[in-house]
Amino acid sequence: MNARPKKSFGQHFLHDRRYIDRIVAAMAPRPGDFVVEIGPGEGALTLPLLAAAGSLTAIELDTDLIPGLQARAAGVGELHIIHADVLKVDLGALAHSHGVPRLRLAGNLPYYISSPILFHCVEHAAAIQDMHFMLQKEVVERMAAAPGSKVYGRLSVMLQLACRVEPLFDVPPEAFRPPPKVDSAVVRLVPLPAHELHDAPPEQVHAVVKAAFGQRRKTLANALRQVLDADAIRRADVDPKARAETLAPADFVRLAKACRNLPP
């Protein structure tokens, strides 16, 4: 234990037992679940999750942490460590290689790449049963924000089109070593069932959302000028004079379907 935490890897190790127990209880892994942890660090969450599930696959980028993790897991359960950047791991293929349709993800995420990790998970949502993540509290607020809220944006729309977003509880900086400069929160994400998913190409939805929020002060007619004219916006049943922050996630899907020739 007690490796010197590396800032460049976003290492803040959770040490407060109460929060560790609450995360494990919220996830409630059972023997037979295919549990995958992102960024196991020194194993604060890994070991109790492993004890509950019997086996666990952990994806860790920092080579120096791997021998310690392996040693601590001995006798607790079957730990498989993938030494990789999680953004390069095909989660669908991972589930497939274990012969299960969907995996259960957990992690106290490295905050410096939390948004890319969330988008990566959304891309693989069909292979995921649920996710329990520790994130910056402000990020959880953005993920769960409703239209009209100041923090409603690209992350809110993309996450809510793919998952049910359930903020669970806050975690103070003192629960980590070293303490981060921000408050944290734990969130549960449950991918929506197929019949609730939209049928527009995801890249297209992403491009519209990005364009709309890229210029959030402008009306949609202005922000989307490159891809949609005002008539097309109206045909999608959206007011061209509205601003992106007032639209529901489903409005963006209709706008994406109305688009032709979107930039990649």
40 touches ligand SAM (CB under 6 A): yes
Residue the block writes with tokens 């392996």: 70
| 13 is a contact residue toward ligand SAM (CB under 6 A) | yes
* Cβ atoms < 10 Å from Cβ of 6: 12
206 assigned binding-site residue: no
Tokens of 174: 């003192």
Assess contact for 259 and 205: CB atoms under 8 A.
Answer: no
Separation CA 252–CA 96 (nearest Å): 32
Q: Is cis: bond before 178, omega within 30 of 0?
A: yes
Residue with the CB atom nearest ligand SAM in the bound state: 39
Spell out, one character per residue from 45 to 64, where the chain touches ligand SAM: x when CB under 6 A holds, - when not.
x-------------xxxx--
User: Which range touches ligand SAM (CB under 6 A), out of 28-36, 39-47, 137-145, 159-167?
Assistant: 39-47
Closest contact distance (angstroms) between CB of 71 and ligand SAM is 16
Task: Yes or no: say if 131 and 188 are a contact pair by the CB < 8 Å rule.
Answer: yes
Which C-beta is closer to ligand SAM: that of 118 or that of 220? 118
Residue 10 makes contact with ligand SAM by CB under 6 A: yes
191 binding ligand SAM? (CB under 6 A): no
Q: How far is the CB of 41 from ligand SAM (least distance, A)?
A: 2
What is the spatial distance between Cα 61 and Cα 120, in angstroms, rounded to a whole number? 16
* Exposure of 177 in the CB half-sphere (CA atoms within 13 A): 11
Residues of the binding site: 12, 14, 39, 60, 85, 108
Site for ligand SAM, rule CB under 6 A: 9-14, 38-42, 44-45, 59-62, 65, 85-87, 108, 110, 113
